[in-house]
């Protein structure tokens, strides 16, 4: 599944000035793991076996522009995130349909009283 969003990349001359690429590697590792977990949780939700996801928080360091050598990997992760978002939307829609079905099966109280209290 493709993404309409593109990854912005720094030119090779900006990579050295932006800081260590190790920070970008670690950030992309974390994003890749989060996308894989989101996909797995969405698929489990579609199968009725969902669990709670781990909480993700952005890093506090300023990584600067993305090094050009990591652009392809970043685009793959972006595509994986888009696929995970689609799976989450499908799981959410399925869940909503299930809830609507369960709600339709519940007895609904009528607006007319069943008993009339003539002594009280």
Look up tokens 């989450």; give the residue: 88
pLDDT of 13 reads 40
Tokens of 72: 């392809």
0.85 surpassed by pTM: no
Residue extents of the structural domains in the chain: 12-105
Highest mean pLDDT among 24-28, 48-52, 104-108: 24-28
72-101 per-position pLDDT tens digit: 999 999 999 999 899 888 888 988 998 999
More confident of the two residues 14 and 88: 88
Look up tokens 């090094």; give the residue: 67
- For residue 41, the tally of other CB atoms under 10 A from its CB is 20
Percent of the chain with pLDDT over 90: 22
């Amino acid at each position: 599944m493709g993404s309409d969003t593109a990854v912005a990349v720094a030119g090779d001359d900006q990579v050295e000035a932006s800081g260590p690429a190790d920070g970008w590697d670690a950030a992309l590792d974390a994003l890749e793991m989060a996308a894989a977990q989101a996909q797995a949780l969405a698929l489990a939700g579609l199968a009725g076996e969902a669990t709670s996801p781990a909480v993700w928080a952005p890093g506090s360091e300023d990584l600067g522009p993305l090094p050009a050598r990591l652009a392809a990997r970043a685009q793959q992760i972006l595509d994986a995130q888009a696929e995970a978002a689609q799976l989450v939307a499908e799981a959410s829609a399925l869940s909503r349909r299930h809830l609507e079905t369960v709600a339709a099966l519940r007895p609904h109280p009528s607006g007319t009283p069943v008993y009339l209290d003539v002594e009280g």
